[in-house]
Amino acid sequence: MFKENAVILFQGDSITDTHRSRTDDRNLGEGYVNKINTLLQERYPERGIKVLNRGISGNRTVDLLNRWEEDCIKLAPDYLSILIGVNDTGRRYDSNDPTSADDFADRLRTIIEMSLNKTSAEIILLNPFLVDINENITHMREDLSDKQAAVKSLAAEYKTRFLDLDELFRTCARNGNPGDYAQDGVHPTSVGHALIAEAWLKAWAN
């Protein structure tokens, strides 16, 4: 699945950050990145895989773009996972600071092209998601849907891997309580993070 001594870099916002350390790369936070690393070390202990987490809570695509040289290119990842977009939507509703679908797509496109041109990384794009726990969260889909479409379109255009987390959570939530996966509709519970971790590893197995 992953080559020996591979560097796997995870990028995104608070869903990726999950209180990771800013000074110790061994502390990967409390979420899906840490769970993925644990599973990789258990399943492939001989491969020397190194996992890095550079998610930053509150980030939008503009923030990723501004720090991409330092927090991606210079790290020379072999595999790159990007989950971004829910804050591009969320700031429209809580701060009256919207990000248009075109700006979102343009910034993500630049991030992808920088990564392909300046590293040898294989990329997986994760679709931003919401878990429909109430009408206020569901209402935000009017903004998020175009951004989700942009992520899927860019994955197809650049032939990256793609993981539709929104569909994953929708499917699971239909069979149980949506709050079991994200109590606030945005940030996954431990169960939600475990779901992402298993789906992420499965996406690379194909």
Would you call 139 a catalytic residue per the annotation?
no
What 3-state class would DSSP assign to 83? strand
Given 19, 100, 184, 190, which residue is catalytic? 184
Annotation says 153 is catalytic: no
How far is Cα 101 from Cα 43, in angstroms, rounded to an integer? 39
- If you write DSSP's letter for every residue of 102-169 in order, what string do you get? HHHHHHHHHHHHHHHHH---EEEEEPP----SSHHHHHTHHHHHHHHHHHHHHHHHHT-EEE-HHHHH
Query: Of the residues 14, 81, 164, 166, which is catalytic?
Result: 14
Find out whether 128 and 158 touch, Cβ atoms under 8 Å: no
Catalytic residue among 103, 132, 146, 187: 187
Look up 184 and say whether it is catalytic. yes
- By annotation, the residues acting in catalysis are 14, 184, 187
